[in-house]
Structure 1
Amino acid sequence: MNSGSPRLYLSSLGLSLLYYPGQSADKRISVFKVLLTPGVIPILVVVFAWMLAHNILYTYISPFLDDMGLEPYLGQVLLVFGIMALVGIWVIGIFIDRWLRPLVLISLTGFALISLVLGLWSEHGTIIFISVALWGLTFGGAATLLQTALAQAAGKQGVDIVLPINTTVWNLATAGAGILGGVLLNQWGTTSFPWSLLLLLLLALFVAWCAKRHGFRPSQIR
């Protein structure tokens, strides 16, 4: 075996190789330029607001259920959420090519309505279970929707830069939710969660709605 031929060696092991063309130095673009690409900033704002809202409720779901008298059902609530999130992933995978923009708007609107329902009728156990199921459905495909929108907005040259930025924003939202949720819990209790979520989701919905031209664009596939 030729030790200087890793391609032949890997092929002998039955491993397929995928080659992607790199970018020459003169074609690389900076992070700043990618951020200034039309549509990128609005999508990142939606990522942050959506994930901040989601993680406030998800991180502090135990005290929220405890205040509603449903702490013994924490496991069942999370199971319902997880199952419906899987359904959401499946639905998004089927329709994302044609309906990316409508799916983003529907998901954000649905989550906002769920937050409103939890704020008004959270004392009813059945309503909470239904709300959690719909919450999981709207969240399941969020990552796919947002990453696809970012990749389309950034284009071929910017996609390798914008997706790590997306991960950073996502992680900032997760960390921020722990801080903000803790403040809300200590100052106003879990009853403040639904209304805080609603404000964040209305912001995300407004930005997504306005970002029609370069951000969350209508599909060209018919």
Structure 2
Amino acid sequence: MRDTAKAHGKLPLPALVALAMAAFITVLTEALPAGVLPAMSEDLGVSESAAGQAVTVYALGTAAAAIPLTAATAGWRRKKLLLAGVAGFAVANTVTAVSPWYPLTMAGRCLAGVAAGVVWALLVGYARGISPAALRGKAIALVMAGIPAALSLGVPAGTFLGGLLGWRAAFWAMTGLAVVLTGWIVAVVPDRPGARGPAGRIPLARTLRVPGVAAVLWVTLIWVLAHTVLYTYIAAFLERLGAGERIDVVLLVFGVASLLSIWITGAYIDRRPRALVLSAALLFAVAVAVLAVRAGSTPLLYAAVALWGLGWGGAPTLLQTAAAVAGGDAADTAQAMLVTLWNAAMAAGGIAGGLLLTHGGAGSLPWTALLLALPVLALVTTARRAAFPAAAVALTTTEGETVTARG
């Protein structure tokens, strides 16, 4: 399929929505066990904490696979690689749906994480490559909208389906979505070439020396850790406040605010990337500070959760865009490193949050998130030249295209 939308200066909406659906499936596959955990643990004959490791194993599979698979598949045609990743989700969710044994279920979850490592490292570069240079920020924001959509709509829907038809039906539904998406990709997503020659290798050390890349990666690691420590155990935190029965409303407020954040990010990322990153980090810090100090007030609780969603919803788009632009001709490597650190931080956040919950109580979670938010703010504020700059300059990719950078 010819990339006619790019040639005419328009966003290729059907293709970008297909990429957004890939992001949706990736996040929903990861988060779905949280919504069906009691039934899943009972059916597999393990404790809820053991069943909960389905999320950790997924994140570890993604973290372990992103860099080596990006290196091994650097020369592949992009459409072929995307289809392979989506097929991986179909197989992994089918294994999870039919498995009667806990070890096999964990193996399926690990395979799903590996597929996610492939897809996450691919999406941003794909969206940029099929979109006009002046609209690449909007293209990435549209694709990343799959993340809050999965959390605010997909997880509740999957949980409802699991309660109605059993938890395995929810994973069968995920398989069905992956199969439908495969046909969608074949029909509407234009192909892209892989990297050619030496550019296809993964020069990790050289990428880390590229100005701005290390700062973006540090911000990603700390910010995701801060978010995950609190978000993973938000139900326990609300129980401490006597608001456990409002978990669905709280998550809805967070999800709607995240979707609004994605819309704002898409509208301004091509013109005000630095202002967006600073605002997002500040909103996140203010939100967790309010939760730490005054979360007992119901209006302040909802206000803080809304600010949290506004700060966090656009963060994946902002950070992945920053990594791609700062990376320059090593953008694919920078993306793979970001995906690895993102998922390592998610796994570490789940473990650290559990330890904090056990030894410090639920009240320690927002304080820890606030403590981590401070260096994020400091790094974003000081890394203003290469990592999170504001004005536009031209760069050339490994494919010989001119892209928009900020400097």
Instruction: Flag whether TM exceeds 0.5 (same fold).
Output: yes
Q: Which residue of 2 aligns with 1:178?
A: 350
Q: Give yes or no for the alignment of 1:48 onto 2:235.
A: no
Please list every run of 5 or more consecutive structure 2 residues that lacks an aligned counterpart in the other structure: 1-185, 393-405
Correspondence list, 1:88-167, <5 A: 88-155=261-328, 157-167=329-339
User: Which structure has the higher relative contact order (CA within 8 Å, separation 6+)?
Assistant: 1
Q: 1:20: Cα distance to partner?
A: 2.8
2:363 is matched by which residue type in structure 1? T
Paired residue for 2:191, among 18, 43, 48? Answer: 18
2:351 is matched by which residue type in structure 1? I
Q: 1:23: Cα distance to partner?
A: 2.1
Contact 1:107/1:138, CA 8 A, preserved across alignment: yes
Q: 1:208: Cα distance to partner?
A: 1.2
Q: 1:22: Cα distance to partner?
A: 3.0
Hey, what's the Cα distance between the residues in 1 that align with 2:189 and 2:232?
41
2:279 is matched by which residue type in structure 1? I
Q: 1:28: Cα distance to partner?
A: 4.7
Please list every run of 5 or more consecutive structure 1 residues that lacks an aligned counterpart in the other structure: 1-12
Note the alpha carbon deviations across 1:54-86, whole angstroms, 9 max, x for none.
111110000000000100001111111111111
Q: 1:164: Cα distance to partner?
A: 1.2
Paired residue for 2:258, among 69, 85, 92? Answer: 85
Indicate the RMSD between aligned Cα atoms, in angstroms: 1.8
Paired residue for 1:70, among 243, 261, 266? Answer: 243
Q: 1:18: Cα distance to partner?
A: 2.7
Q: 1:133: Cα distance to partner?
A: 1.1
Hey, what's the Cα distance between the residues in 2 that align with 1:82 and 1:26?
39
Hey, what's the Cα distance between the residues in 1 that align with 2:331 and 2:199?
17
Note the alpha carbon deviations across 1:106-149, whole angstroms, 9 max, x for none.
11111111111111111111211111111111111111000111
Q: 1:30 to 1:117 in 2, by over 3 A?
A: same
Q: 1:69 to 1:34 in 2, by over 3 A?
A: same
Segment drifting more, 65-74 vs 26-35:
26-35
Contact 1:115/1:195, CA 8 A, preserved across alignment: yes
Q: Which residue of 2 aligns with 1:201?
A: 373
Note the alpha carbon deviations across 1:29-78, whole angstroms, 9 max, x for none.
61111111111111111001111111111100000000001000011111
With the length of structure 2 as denominator, give the TM-score of the two structures: 0.49
Contact 2:283/2:310, CA 8 A, preserved across alignment: no
Contact 2:262/2:314, CA 8 A, preserved across alignment: yes
Contact 1:97/1:219, CA 8 A, preserved across alignment: no
Secondary structure in structure 2 of the residue aligned to 1:216: coil
Q: 1:179: Cα distance to partner?
A: 1.1
Moved over 3 A (4+): 13-17, 26-29
How many residue pairs align between the two structures? 208
Contact 2:229/2:353, CA 8 A, preserved across alignment: yes
Hey, what's the Cα distance between the residues in 2 that align with 1:63 and 1:93?
33
Q: Which residue of 2 aligns with 1:213?
A: 385
Contact 2:229/2:350, CA 8 A, preserved across alignment: yes
What percent of counterpart residues are identical? 40
2:255 is matched by which residue type in structure 1? G
Q: Give yes or no for the alignment of 1:192 onto 2:192.
A: no
Contact 1:38/1:153, CA 8 A, preserved across alignment: yes
Note the alpha carbon deviations across 1:87-107, whole angstroms, 9 max, x for none.
111110000011111111111
Q: 1:25: Cα distance to partner?
A: 2.6
Q: 1:17: Cα distance to partner?
A: 4.6
Contact 1:88/1:139, CA 8 A, preserved across alignment: yes
Q: 1:76 to 1:20 in 2, by over 3 A?
A: same
With the length of structure 1 as denominator, give the TM-score of the two structures: 0.88
2:341 is matched by which residue type in structure 1? V
Q: 1:161: Cα distance to partner?
A: 1.0
2:386 is matched by which residue type in structure 1? H
Hey, what's the Cα distance between the residues in 1 that align with 2:289 and 2:391?
30
